[in-house]
Copies of this chain bind each other. A is one copy, B any other.
């Protein structure tokens, strides 16, 4: 396989995972988990969302979290920013990067942020202005990029049009999100090849879900295309809003296990990361989908004792 020598793992659990939890996770616990993730060697973390506390109460401590976590120079802390108010707060908290987002389908964008795609794109201008003034780079997430649960397949033409507009706005990178787990290896290949061809040098990230069990197959396919930027969630935190009991984000430590077994460097200490995943499962208080945290790494051998 034509896979890269190293890959960047972007941990999204503290934002994408925690925001689905109804019970408030104490700010100190969030900080402890993010710090442990950093200590395990993760270099890029989506730490929180600067969203209205009325919309998502779980994220009401966004500023405090960003202010109190470790901020080593080689770790890039990002936050989701849904609107100019969030942009101001994120700039104030001195995040390393802001993330703006919209959906590739009108139905999902309407459902998610109650706007048309055009309204979302217009709204980004003010966020970009705030970020530029603060000297903070902005990256863009395109949700349901590999399929929409309401509309089905997403045309390449539509993705190109959205990417064009995002790049015109001045984003530094684009991440394709498989929000409800509709990506397949063939669709990942077709989509990523098309975008990489149209935008040579684009920092193209991918955010895959394991909703239908093939999240890591899609990761494997994306690796073979040369992608090096992979979003995932520790312990597999986060679910799927349309399928109770179904898995959401690809699990970070399972993905890191795969990378290491393929000889792809991540800079992450897998055994430390497994400890964080087990801690996260304790905090959440129910079984989470991560597999490696249950089974241990490959050569954690068992002693042999007859009967």
- Which residues of A does B touch, CB under 8 Å? 1, 107, 110-111, 114, 147, 149-153, 180-182, 184-186, 210-214, 216-217, 219-221, 240, 242-247, 251, 254, 257-258, 261-263, 287, 290-292, 294-299, 301-304, 306-307
Contact = CB atoms under 8 A, between A and B. Distances in A.
Contacts of A212: 254, 257, 291-292, 295, 297-298
Interface of A is mostly: loop
Given A216-B216, A257-B212, A150 B303 contact: yes
* A-B CB proximity, top 5 nearest: A213-B254, A213-B291, A184-B261, A243-B295, A246-B294
A301 B297 CA distance: 37
**Number of identical monomers bound together in the oligomeric complex:** 2
A55 to B, nearest CB: 12
A210 B149 CA distance: 27
Contact of A185 (B149, B251, B262): B262
A257 B213 contact: yes
Given A185-B1, A186-B262, A246-B294, A301 B214 contact: no
23 contacts: A107-B304, A110-B304, A110-B306, A114-B306, A147-B299, A150-B301, A150-B303, A150-B304, A151-B301, A152-B299, A152-B301, A184-B298, A186-B261, A186-B263, A211-B295, A212-B257, A212-B291, A213-B258, A214-B258, A216-B216, A216-B217, A242-B295, A246-B295
